Chains A and B, each alone.
Chain A
Amino acid sequence: EIVMTQSPATLSVSPGERASLSCRASHNVGNNLAWYQQKPGQPPRLLISSASSGVTGLPARFSGSRSGTEFTLTISSLQSEDSGIYFCQQYNTWPFTFGQGTRLEIK
């Protein structure tokens, strides 16, 4: 099973600042990596697929990148509505595993 490790566990950032969330895969997953945002009481919401492709309507401040087995979600200018928990998921190899999440707090 591929283990997805996210860091940091919690990130506190001021509005307008940049947030970088990391996700590392224990084995190669190619570009088969998705990022999700989850708010309290809601299901996860897909933000980015294929490591760097934003879903339709995703604000331009969100971007994803890959370097080998390291993936990064960057929010360039944080807005208050960006608070929540962010999960990565690999869908390259059964079973399709999730990371444990990064909680993003707005200062």
Chain B
Amino acid sequence: GAGVSQSPSNKVTEKGKDVELRCDPISGHTALYWYRQRLGQGLEFLIYFQGNSAPDKSGLPSDRFSAERTGESVSTLTIQRTQQEDSAVYLCASSARTGKEQFFGPGTRLTVL
């Protein structure tokens, strides 16, 4: 079956612009996660959704970052007024329910010039 998909695969933007990153989880997965992977580093947890609610947003780096999820489907991570330090690969994962194996998408590589 289809895995987790993310779009776009690459995004280049200018400093100060807003960007939206999309994640399509595996059908039927109720839990969805966003991580950030900076060059040469491990993944940092950003936010977690159970259904369309986000019990934990503590990993979002600043108020420029926000995310939403429609039902138990697509999620969008929005970064407003992008800064160069936002350049990273943003990875999405989903799991059948909280605590179960997380399946990762291929990521969106964001470059802020």
Genuine A/B complex: no
Question: What is B's interface to A at a CB cutoff of 8 Å?
Answer: none
Question: What is A's interface to B at a CB cutoff of 8 Å?
Answer: none
